[in-house]
């Protein structure tokens, strides 16, 4: 060992030949390098902050501290420590308060990784340090341009020239809306003196959001006022004088109309952003709205669709609304508080693509942790780490992104005890393991509170998305999901002790926990979770009211669902034609229907389950992609080896047993399950011992 070498050296006798001395000194130098202990690094939030050597020595008895002016400087200094083979855990401790990042914090796996015995932990020194992916707009640069009288309040409209405020901004940084969804977009957020969190402002829209709160169920227009749809010419007619005149006003005089509409154009489970080309007034009641042919809805519009209008100064008329003219750089805003004091509020514009990211998808980022930090405001994802190994995000707050708040791909990494909200898409997105080889990822999401996600893209962007093998998702509190709260695919994953409240409130044909279209993704267990209020809270356009707490869609097979509590939902479980699912020991309370069970593989989805299937849904292609007749699939899931000799389109082998239910507050039409025992048995599935229990 190195210490022994040092002792031995002190006992070397004078008889050692001078020729050996250079070699000995070199060996000692190498030993000492390997014995250097990593030293903590302290990060100021600004150059004139209180974080000085004097402060650290007085408050923490820390002397000779390394103090830097940014987290980027700390990272670069760590790279130098890595070169001399420092050992032990290194803490990068950030001063509490706002750290406005000049650029995204990027980690290079080959330069910025730790190791099992030399971990790197980024954390807060005292109060939470806040890493902000945007810039604070200078209050003194705002000018008053208009006043509105709404109810008992006077609302002031302020403006600022973003291109002429010394902020180094341009059109490219501001981004814009896109079809079908925005991917890079400057947004406005605020933080008042009395607030501890950064809050989302509303891009000017009509109808306004209820109570000036973007996270409450939304208001829409259209429905029966859509009186004509011409998909060949890309226009629709609307009999709505208020909406029509506002649309006309938003586009008049513009060389190119920049007004967008965002809505559900055919199905209440797929939203799209569509650019308006121009608007014509047909008569005093009817307006013809032409959609830009380059930005069509993902499904052709049908009569009765719903939408709202956004991205025009004409729609800015409520507290907390704003509009950015992305051509000339003028930002207009009505403050979120009714005191209209521009000096008492921080207005932050998102400017960075991410807040934290890893730069190389080939190399692996290892042994880095983020603890007790706030990450807020970005034009893309908040934390985006690919090819991660032993990465930890613990007790953090991640919020206000255009993309996912957390995108974590890799192995043996986790997101724990964190508060996540205001995400434009996913709350947490996990991907890892090998579906083909059934190699476990070891990814975990535990003890997080995720709410108010899917802020910009409303569908298929859940609180927790998963794709892979061997994930553990537990003890999370998930709420306010317009579409899904948990969604994904994979094998051998465990979901337990999660709470889902107020989900699927904006859509049809969906589930708060949604999986579908697979015969190979088996070995998954969903147990001891709570589902509450999975039902519509908005006016939908489609007549269907299919909101399911747990949705096994399109013949997905091999899942186990037990020990769960489902209440106050349109449907508890929809078992959509799948095979060998085991549903047992659950409790259903006051739902409109507890279990819906169908045999779609024997009807309208028959082609997908044939051995010679073709088309978008073809289970044989999926099975072949994982070599289902060979290990590890043949040994882990032996029932699939001869699946085409075993009534392939029949929903066989499902077991529904030992469940309890109570219908005291359910509608009169309620049933526990919508199929009788004889039908279920004819499908070679089984049902038994499901009893009413209102005790």
Q: What is the 3-state secondary structure (H, E, C) of 284-325?
A: CCEEEEEECCCCCCCCCCCCCCEEEEECCHHHCCCCCEEEEE
Helix or strand run (H / E) with residue 446? strand 444-446
Do 457 and 383 fall within a single domain? yes
Three-class HEC string of 101-160: CCCCEEECHHHHCCECCECEEEEECCCCEEEECEEECCHHHCEEEEEEEECCEEEEEEEE
pLDDT of residue 277: 95
Three-class HEC string of 524-548: EEEECCEEEEECCCCCCCCCCCCEE
Q: What are residue 56's phi and psi, to 5 degrees? A: -65, -40
Asked if 371 and 349 touch (Cβ cutoff 8 Å), the reply is no
Q: Which residues contact 296 (CB under 8 A, 6 or more apart)?
A: 179, 234, 272, 274
Q: Which residues contact 83 (CB under 8 A, 6 or more apart)?
A: none
For the cut 80, the answer to whether the pLDDT of residue 298 exceeds it is yes
Within 13 Å and on the Cβ side, how many CA atoms surround 29? 6
Do 373 and 454 fall within a single domain? yes
Do 42 and 154 fall within a single domain? no
pLDDT of residue 21: 45
Number of compact structural domains in the chain: 5
User: Which neighbouring-strand residues pair with 371?
Assistant: 394
Q: Is 502 in a helix, a strand, or coil?
A: strand
Residue with tokens 């060389």: 255
Asked whether residue 569 is assigned to any structural domain, the reply reads yes
Give pLDDT tens digits for 126-183. Answer: 999 999 999 999 999 999 998 877 666 778 999 999 999 888 898 999 999 999 999 9
Q: Is 269 in a helix, a strand, or coil?
A: coil
Do 238 and 383 fall within a single domain? no
pTM value is 0.93
For the cut 60, the answer to whether the pLDDT of residue 55 exceeds it is yes
Nearest to 424 by CA among 388, 451, 457: 457
Do 535 and 622 fall within a single domain? yes
Averaged pLDDT for residues 187-208: 90
Q: Is the dihedral of CA 82, 86, 88, 92 positive or negative?
A: negative
Asked if 600 and 552 touch (Cβ cutoff 8 Å), the reply is no
pLDDT of residue 10: 40
Averaged pLDDT for residues 279-306: 96
Do 438 and 547 fall within a single domain? yes
Asked whether residue 686 is assigned to any structural domain, the reply reads no
For the cut 60, the answer to whether the pLDDT of residue 106 exceeds it is yes
Asked whether residue 498 is assigned to any structural domain, the reply reads yes
**How far is it, in rounded angstroms, from Cα 690 to Cα 672?**
9
Give pLDDT tens digits for 521-540. Answer: 999 999 999 999 999 999 99
Token digits of residue 523: 């070995």
Do 474 and 577 fall within a single domain? yes
pLDDT of residue 549: 98
Evaluate the omega torsion of the peptide bond into residue 376 and state whether it is cis, within 30 degrees of 0: no
Q: What percent of the chain shows pLDDT beyond 70?
A: 92
Asked whether residue 399 is assigned to any structural domain, the reply reads yes
Do 390 and 536 fall within a single domain? yes
Q: What is the band of 665 on the pLDDT scale with cuts at 50, 70, 90?
A: very high
Q: What is the band of 31 on the pLDDT scale with cuts at 50, 70, 90?
A: very low
Q: What are residue 664's phi and psi, to 5 degrees? A: -60, -40
Averaged pLDDT for residues 657-673: 97
Q: What is the band of 47 on the pLDDT scale with cuts at 50, 70, 90?
A: confident
Q: What is the band of 38 on the pLDDT scale with cuts at 50, 70, 90?
A: low
Q: What letter does residue 218 receive in the DSSP assignment?
A: P
Do 473 and 563 fall within a single domain? yes
pLDDT of residue 20: 46
pLDDT of residue 17: 41
Do 301 and 415 fall within a single domain? no
Do 369 and 422 fall within a single domain? yes
Helix or strand run (H / E) with residue 278? strand 271-281
Q: What is the band of 459 on the pLDDT scale with cuts at 50, 70, 90?
A: very high
Asked whether residue 266 is assigned to any structural domain, the reply reads yes
Q: Enumerate long-range contacts of 50-57, CB under 8 Å, 24 or more apart.
A: 50/95, 51/95, 51/125
Residue with tokens 């003028």: 330
Angstrom distances, CA of residue 612 to CA of 182, 599, 640, 647: 39, 20, 16, 14
Q: Which of 89, 109, 133 is the last residue of a domain?
A: 133
Asked whether residue 209 is assigned to any structural domain, the reply reads no
pLDDT of residue 254: 63
Q: What is the band of 36 on the pLDDT scale with cuts at 50, 70, 90?
A: very low
Asked whether residue 247 is assigned to any structural domain, the reply reads yes
Residue 7 domain boundaries: 1-35
Averaged pLDDT for residues 334-344: 81
Q: What are residue 191's phi and psi, to 5 degrees? A: -145, 120
Token digits of residue 58: 């007085």
For the cut 60, the answer to whether the pLDDT of residue 12 exceeds it is no
Q: What is the chain's mean pLDDT, rounded?
A: 92
Give pLDDT tens digits for 468-517. Answer: 999 999 999 999 999 999 999 999 999 999 999 999 999 999 999 999 99
Asked whether residue 670 is assigned to any structural domain, the reply reads no
Do 463 and 556 fall within a single domain? yes
For the cut 70, the answer to whether the pLDDT of residue 63 exceeds it is yes
What CATH number is associated with residue 251?
2.40.30
Q: What is the band of 7 on the pLDDT scale with cuts at 50, 70, 90?
A: very low
How big is the chain by its Cα radius of gyration, in Å?
Answer: 29
């Amino acid at each position: 060992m190195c210490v022994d070498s040092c002792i031995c050296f002190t006992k070397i006798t004078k008889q050692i030949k001078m020729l050996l001395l250079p070699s000995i000194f070199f060996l000692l130098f190498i030993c000492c390098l390997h014995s250097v202990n990593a030293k903590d690094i302290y990060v100021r939030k600004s150059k004139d902050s209180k974080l000085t050597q004097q402060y650290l020595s007085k408050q923490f008895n820390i002397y000779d501290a390394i103090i830097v002016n940014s987290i980027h400087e700390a990272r670069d200094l760590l790279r130098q420590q890595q070169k001399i083979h420092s050992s032990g855990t290194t803490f990068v401790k950030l001063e509490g308060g706002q750290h406005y990042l000049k650029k995204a914090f990027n980690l290079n796996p080959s330069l910025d990784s730790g190791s099992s015995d030399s971990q790197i932990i980024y954390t807060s020194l005292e109060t939470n340090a806040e890493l902000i992916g945007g810039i604070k707009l200078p209050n003194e640069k705002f000018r008053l341009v208009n006043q509105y009288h709404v109810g008992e309040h006077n609302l002031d409209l302020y403006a600022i020239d973003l291109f002429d405020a010394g902020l180094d901004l341009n059109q490219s940084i501001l981004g814009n809306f896109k079809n079908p969804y925005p991917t890079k977009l400057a947004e406005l957020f605020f933080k008042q003196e009395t607030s501890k969190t950064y809050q989302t402002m509303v891009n000017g829209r009509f109808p306004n959001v209820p109570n000036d709160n973007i996270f409450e169920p939304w208001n829409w227009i259209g429905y029966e006022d859509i009186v004509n749809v011409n998909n060949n010419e890309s226009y629709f007619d609307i009999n709505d004088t208020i909406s029509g005149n506002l649309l006309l006003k938003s586009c008049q005089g513009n060389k190119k109309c920049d007004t967008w509409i965002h809505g559900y154009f055919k199905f209440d489970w797929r939203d799209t952003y569509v650019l308006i080309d121009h608007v014509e007034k047909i008569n005093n009641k009817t307006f013809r709205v032409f959609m830009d042919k380059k930005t069509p809805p993902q499904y052709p519009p049908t009569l009765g669709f719903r939408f709202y209008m956004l991205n025009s100064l004409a729609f800015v008329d409520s507290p907390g609304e704003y509009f950015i003219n992305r051509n000339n750089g003028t930002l207009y805003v009505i403050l979120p508080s009714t005191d209209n004091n521009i000096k008492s509020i921080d207005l932050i514009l998102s400017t960075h693509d991410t807040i934290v990211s890893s730069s190389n998808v080939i190399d692996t980022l290892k042994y880095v942790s983020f603890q007790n930090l706030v990450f807020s405001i970005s034009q893309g994802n908040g934390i985006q780490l690919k090819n991660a190994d032993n990465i930890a995000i613990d007790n953090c707050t991640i919020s206000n992104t255009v993309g996912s708040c957390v995108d974590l791909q890799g192995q043996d990494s986790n997101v724990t005890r964190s508060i996540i909200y205001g995400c434009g898409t996913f709350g947490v997105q996990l991907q890892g393991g090998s579906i083909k080889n059934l190699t476990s990822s070891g990814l975990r999401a535990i003890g997080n509170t995720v709410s108010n996600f899917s802020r910009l893209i409303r569908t298929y962007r859940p609180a927790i998305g998963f794709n892979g093998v061997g994930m553990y998702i537990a003890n999370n509190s998930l709420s306010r999901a317009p579409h899904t709260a948990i969604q994904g695919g994979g094998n051998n994953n465990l979901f337990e002790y999660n709470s889902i409240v107020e989900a699927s409130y904006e859509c049809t044909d969906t589930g708060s926990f949604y999986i579908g279209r697979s015969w190979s993704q088996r070995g998954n267990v969903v147990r001891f979770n709570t589902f509450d209020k999975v039902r519509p809270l908005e006016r939908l356009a489609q007549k269907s009211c299919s909101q399911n707490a747990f949705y096994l869609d399109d013949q997905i097979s091999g899942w186990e669902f037990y020990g769960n509590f489902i209440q106050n939902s349109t449907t508890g479980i929809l078992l959509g034609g799948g095979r060998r699912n085991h549903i047992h020991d659950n409790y259903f309370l006051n739902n409109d229907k507890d279990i819906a069970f169908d045999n779609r593989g024997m009807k309208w989805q028959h082609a997908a389950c044939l051995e010679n299937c073709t088309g978008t849904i073809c289970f044989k292609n999926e099975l072949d992609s994982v070599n289902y007749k060979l290990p590890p699939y043949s040994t882990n899931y032996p029932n699939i080896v001869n699946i085409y000799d075993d009534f392939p389109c029949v929903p066989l082998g499902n077991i529904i047993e030992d469940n309890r239910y109570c219908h005291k507050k359910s509608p009169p039409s309620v049933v526990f399950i919508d199929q009788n025992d004889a039908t279920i048995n004819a499908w070679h599935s089984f049902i038994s011992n499901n009893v009413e229990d209102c005790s």
